[in-house]
Structure 1
Amino acid sequence: MSGVVAVGIDDSVSAAKAADWATDEAARRNAALRIVRVREPWASEYPIGRVGGFEAALTDHCRGMLARAAQRAAARAPGVTAGTALPTGAVVERLLQESTTADLLVVGGRGMGGFAGLLLGAVGLGLAGRTVCPLVVVRGYTDDQTHVVAVGVDGSAGSEAALRHAFEEALLRRSAVRAVYAWTEPAFASLSGLFFEEKITAMRPWLAPWKEKYPDVQVSESVICRHPVPALVDASKEADLIVVGSRGRGAASSVVLGSVGHGILHRAHCPVMVVTSPGPR
């Protein structure tokens, strides 16, 4: 595998972790790394923006940030070719443009504009479900690895896309796939045991083609009578990456990111990959 892994950065600690994750991923994929710092034009609208030399100083600051990020990437993964970009515009829109030419887009869980109480930054939320390539929002990233890629499945088109990327990632990482099918039947919760065999039977054909295509990837199956968000959040505690489709069975076609995707992005304990579902967006 090759291609381009793009990462959006700012001055935040979250962005630095995202850049580290993107560097490691580029090394796994034998891909180029593209480090992007979007220079927002808002500064010129404030009094400080009209101070002589401010624009040049801001540009120099951004270029310095990119240079330091490239140096950090080179030290972390010497074999990765890192390039930088300093576009001007709205952050989400410019990163959406990056997603049209990248194979993967990476951002931090919360940027410089996020309040301490927020669980997910505006950039990640604005991108999720809208990117052309898969999006990774980096949360809870450490160098300690579990060698598990978790993926939420429900038989939808979004689930199918998520499975494809989960197996690809597992192969790259020499990791196992844990497929999680969480379902709720509120009216019959006390009789949930009666439904398990039916759900397991339904799950098998979803996984079968991927098991055949990736015979070296170990797979475990979890069928859980529980709302998908807490079930997948729990799975993320023991995973290096969790993969979800942008829309599952419960989402209307007009919704770019379903409620499950939102919940996982806000609460996951590991990086989250959101795979944009095929069909109307």
Structure 2
Amino acid sequence: MPATGEAVDTMSFPLVVGVDGSDASLQALDWAVDEAARHGLPLRLIYASRWEQYEGLLPAFDAGRSSGAIVAQNIATTCAERAAARNPDVKVSAEVLAEDTVTALLAESREAFAVVTGSRGRGELADALLGSVSLAVAGRAASPVIVVRGAHGNLRGEFGRVILAVGDVTEGSEAIGFAFREARARDAALHAVRTWCRPAQAHGGPLRSHEAKSLLYEEQAATVLGEALDEAEGRHPGTVCHREVIEGPAHRVLVKLSERADLLVLGALRRCDRSGIQLGRVSHTVLHRAACPVAIVPLRV
């Protein structure tokens, strides 16, 4: 990726999807085909041949019982055929890489419109994990990462609504543009949300003072929301954008809103002087509990 602050034409990059033959990865693949078609992007399928060390051995379909290399190629080929059958107009390529999955997808994210993963892995621990690959990639990738999860209606885009979580204005700058583009590509409305929490009332304090502080907190949330969106709306004419400030913990509010959404978009800072997973509590929670696909959009600082 170019240096911080340098403009990048991400529309010239492919949409990358990690495949492993599991039910969750096939669901992510189908979603990624539709996403690539919406944006007019080529689709790049990646099978990392060391996936098994994380999340089990057997794919959801029968890819054969021969050597590991043949099994890997069979999975990649079968997934490519599935993508082509779903939408023949999407240009599809597939590659088997002799890497562990996280390393492979993080490398791919440097020149990707976005990286798409499933919400579960394979094997005995699948139900207990986000899975581990998806969480690691979402917390470290250079590009947006979309974790595909949710019910049938959410995955099919039946609600016509993209949710944008507006946190810190700086943190969310890249996420705002991403959310507007997603809403436009889907011909959907954008629902931008900023949460706030009522201050704790001092024991024995006057009720009127407490109510005044609550009103101030709500007004501050509305101000942040306006500052984040005013300029962006001018750059994206024609996209319907609803603004709402909602009282309550952000993670709970967003999980509830995700029940009637096609996509939930959040921003995440990537500090160049830090390593490891860089995700806050809100991102962690929605990645595990949201009822629709979740996009984590990084901003490098």
TM-score (norm 1): 0.87
Alpha-carbon distance change, 127 to 77 in structure 1, aligned in 2, over 3 angstroms: same
Q: CA deviation at 1:69?
A: 1.0
Q: Which residue does 1:165 correspond to in 2?
A: 178
Distance 1:88 1:245 in 2: 31
User: Residue 95 of structure 1 aligns with which residue?
Assistant: 105
Q: Tell me how far apart the structure 1 counterparts of residues 45 and 51 of structure 2 sit (CA, whole Å).
A: 19
CA contact (8 A) 2:20 2:47 kept: yes
1:50 is aligned to none
2:218 counterpart of 1:205 = no
Gaps of 5+ in 2: 1-10, 54-63, 203-209
Letter paired with 1:112: R
Could you tell me how far 1:61 is from its partner in structure 2? 1.4
Amino acid in structure 2 at the alignment position of 1:95: L
Q: Is 1:184 equivalent to 2:206 in the alignment?
A: no
State the alpha-carbon separation in 1 of the partners of residues 166 and 40 from structure 2.
28
In the aligned structure 1, how far is the partner of 2:31 from the partner of 2:65? 31
Runs of 4+ in 1 over 6 A off after TM superposition: none
Q: 1:222 aligns to what? A: 244
| Offset of residue 221 of structure 1 | 1.1
RMSD of aligned residue pairs (Cα, Å): 2.4
Q: Shift in Å at residue 142 of structure 1?
A: 2.9
Structure 2 letter corresponding to 1:181:
R
Conserved 8 A contact 1:41-1:88:
no
What are the superposed Cα offsets for residues 64-119 of structure 1, whole Å, 9 maximum, x if unpaired?
Answer: 11111111111111100100010012110111011112111000001114625425
Give the counterpart of 2:262 among 240, 256, 272.
240
Q: Which runs of 5+ in 1 are unaligned?
A: 44-53
- How far did 1:18 drift? 0.5
Once the 2 structures are TM-superposed, how far is the Cα of residue 11 of structure 1 from its aligned partner? Answer: 2.2
How many residues are matched?
266
Aligned to 1:275: 297
Q: 1:266 aligns with which of 281, 285, 288?
A: 288
Query: Where does residue 59 of structure 2 map in the other structure?
Result: none
Query: Among 69, 75, 90, which residue is 1:65 paired with?
Result: 75
The secondary structure found in structure 2 opposite 1:187 is: coil
Hey, what does 1:51 align to over in structure 2? Answer: none
Mapped partners of 2:190, 2:196: distance in 1: 19
Post-superposition shift, 1:188? 4.6
3-state DSSP of counterpart to 2:191:
strand
Contact kept? 2:147, 2:295, Cα under 8 Å: yes
- Which residue number in structure 1 is paired with residue 207 of structure 2? none
Q: Which position in structure 2 is the counterpart of 1:138?
A: 148
Matched, 1:147 2:157: no
Distance 1:125 1:241 in 2: 17
- Tell me whether 263-272 or 34-43 shows the greater mean CA deviation: 34-43
Distance 1:19 1:126 in 2: 19
SS in 2 for 1:269: coil
> Which runs of structure 2 are paired with 1:249-264 in the superposition (5 Å)?
254=274, 256-264=278-286
Is contact 2:120-2:127 (8 Å) kept? no
- Residues of 1 paired with 2:164 and 2:258: CA distance? 9
Q: Aligned equivalents of 1:101 and 1:176: distance in 2? A: 28
Instruction: Identify if the C-alpha distance between structure 1 residues 94 and 86 changes in structure 2 by more than 3 Å, giving closer, same or farther.
Output: same
